[in-house]
Chain A
Amino acid sequence: MSTNAKKTTERPAGLLTWTAIGVVVVVIAVLVVIKVTKHTGPTAGDSVTSSAMVSELTTIPASVYDTVGVTSPAAGVSAPVVTKGQTLLEGTSAVTGKKVPRVIYVGAEYCPYCAAERWSVITALSRFGTWSGLSNTESATGDVYGGTQTFSFVNAKYSSPYIAFDGVEMYSNQVDPATNYYYKLQNLTGVDKTTFATYDTPTYIPGMSANDKYAFPFMSIGNKYLLSGAQFSPALLHGVTRDNIASGLSTASSPFTAAILSAANYLTASICQTTGNMPADVCTSPAVKTAVHKGL
């Protein structure tokens, strides 16, 4: 016998609906709570840089930069390497959201040369934007120029309408007994990794031996200017307290200031070449013009 019988089964949907929505809401709420309560301070053993010290680093009068120029009697200062024919590396401005030249720093907290260079990086970039989240650290005590006082970029954030900056600290200043090497802090990823692997090599750094490739610190200023190694020797800062160095930064006659700001003027001039000489007051200053005339 032929039939047209139909079987219809039904399942209630209400409980499933509200359970699924509830789960999503709870997960989002948990993530927000984690964000709000998360410890965002520096790595173990470090301390947040005081606002007074950040001010000493970032509010140096323009006249001091100009008085120093690119001359440092106590320690020779080198300029970044100029690349030829490289496409400008761009990032996104944290202020405007627009494409701007990108500055990359790659270093490690244990590295004494990084310790010296960070002073100049922070002061130079403060002329283009604003720092937050800097923390105090020092180079590894077991390394050459051990305990050189400096700052870490691990939790640092930088905002500028003219440039984008990414600082990567690959290792801490503490040795991991399991590996007998320094603890890993941050990884290089994406464009940063490619840039480091490409440009911190003898192909682009004149005079670099094959054994020295991938040296710290490394900086790319829009891939137009490169730095491998510190611009001045950390010997100058070795054994000097952070407070002493910072408090003298507005005094052009200080030997620390001369080295730090000479290097900063070279960095500033390099950055100005990528930003179209913006901001004008910084990029047309006498010290920056001098740095440009020196070959940048």
Chain B
Amino acid sequence: MTREAQPVALWARVVTLCLSLVGLGLSIYLTIEHFGHSSLLVCPSNSVFNCGQVTTSAQSYVLGIPVAVLGLIGYCVLTALNTPWAWRAKNYYVHVARFVLTIGSMAFVLWLICAELVIIGYLCLYCTAVHAVTFALFVVMMRVGPTQLGKARLTTTE
């Protein structure tokens, strides 16, 4: 018995790749900023946004690992999984991995939003941009993922 993923519309493949690249770019910037080597971009400071308060908070680490680094790793994998080659992969579990990682990323983003809004009291502009990109990826994947995976043909050949 083999599992086969259903084809996905071109628009979804293009959009997910573009979103992954944007997320990857933002993650690279946030990682550089975290390690203190950037003064390229300016983050506004007001009653809503304050990058410094967020990126230097206790919540900017998870299990001792900077959240920025986790985001970078996540988007490296997501970008790889959203390349045309990965979308054409015969291995069913490549598509499962993409779907699961997107959902996991969205769940992690919800925790980060909670930390920013409830614990820290400020939003980080670039972090919020990553969150928006992740949500967009989540929407697209939830639109096409179940169809691709859930309607996958269970083919038995005898």
Which residues on A are within 8 Å of B, measured CB to CB? Answer: 2-11, 13, 16-17, 20-21, 24, 27-28, 31-32, 34-35, 38, 40, 90-99, 157, 159, 164, 166, 187, 189-191
Give the residues from 102 to 147 in chain B that come closer than 8 angstroms, CB to CB, to chain A: 103, 106, 110, 113-114, 117-118, 121, 135, 138-139, 142-143, 145-147
- Also in contact, A9 and B154, with CB within 8 A (given A16-B146, A20-B142, A35-B118): yes
A and B contact pairs by CB, cutoff 8 A, 29 listed: A4-B157, A6-B155, A6-B156, A8-B154, A9-B153, A10-B151, A11-B150, A13-B145, A17-B142, A20-B103, A24-B138, A27-B110, A28-B110, A31-B110, A35-B121, A38-B118, A91-B56, A92-B33, A92-B52, A94-B50, A96-B42, A97-B39, A97-B43, A99-B39, A157-B50, A159-B45, A164-B52, A190-B61, A191-B56
Which residues of B lie under 8 Å from residue A8 when comparing CB positions? Answer: 153-155
**Contacting B117 at CB < 8 Å: which of A6, A35, A95, A99?**
A35
Which residues of A lie under 8 Å from residue B52 when comparing CB positions? Answer: 91-94, 97, 164
B interface majority secondary structure: helix
**B51 lies within 8 A of chain A by Cβ:** yes
A164 to B55, CA, bound (A): 12
Which residues of A lie under 8 Å from residue B155 when comparing CB positions? Answer: 6-8
Which residues of A lie under 8 Å from residue B114 when comparing CB positions? Answer: 31
A205 smallest CB distance to B (angstroms): 25
**B53 lies within 8 A of chain A by Cβ:** yes
A28 to B56, CA, bound (A): 23
**B41 lies within 8 A of chain A by Cβ:** yes
**Contacting A11 at CB < 8 Å: which of B106, B142, B151?**
B151
Which residues on B are within 8 Å of A, measured CB to CB? Answer: 33, 36, 39, 41-43, 45, 50-53, 55-56, 58, 60-61, 103, 106, 110, 113-114, 117-118, 121, 135, 138-139, 142-143, 145-147, 150-151, 153-158
- Also in contact, A90 and B36, with CB within 8 A (given A3-B158, A5-B156, A157-B53): yes
Residue of A nearest to B37 (CB): A99
Contact check, A7 vs B58: say whether CB atoms are below 8 A apart: no
Which residues of A lie under 8 Å from residue B138 when comparing CB positions? Answer: 20-21, 24
A32 to B117, CA, bound (A): 7
The 5 A-B residue pairs whose C-beta atoms are closest, nearest first, are: A13-B146, A92-B52, A189-B58, A97-B43, A35-B117
**Contacting B147 at CB < 8 Å: which of A3, A13, A31?**
A13
Contact check, B58 vs A187: say whether CB atoms are below 8 A apart: yes
Which residues of A lie under 8 Å from residue B60 when comparing CB positions? Answer: 190
A238 to B131, CA, bound (A): 50
Which residues of A lie under 8 Å from residue B55 when comparing CB positions? Answer: 92
Which residues of A lie under 8 Å from residue B42 when comparing CB positions? Answer: 96-98
Contact check, B56 vs A166: say whether CB atoms are below 8 A apart: yes
Residue of B nearest to A90 (CB): B36
A94 to B56, CA, bound (A): 11
- Also in contact, A97 and B56, with CB within 8 A (given A6-B157, A24-B138, A27-B110): no
Which residues of A lie under 8 Å from residue B157 when comparing CB positions? Answer: 4, 6
**Contacting B58 at CB < 8 Å: which of A4, A13, A35, A190?**
A190
Contact check, B147 vs A21: say whether CB atoms are below 8 A apart: no
Contact check, A24 vs B106: say whether CB atoms are below 8 A apart: yes
Residue of A nearest to B44 (CB): A97
Other A-B pairs, 19, CB within 8 Å; known A92-B55, A97-B33: A3-B158, A6-B157, A8-B153, A9-B153, A9-B154, A11-B150, A11-B151, A28-B113, A31-B114, A31-B118, A91-B52, A93-B52, A97-B45, A97-B52, A99-B39, A157-B53, A159-B45, A159-B50, A191-B56
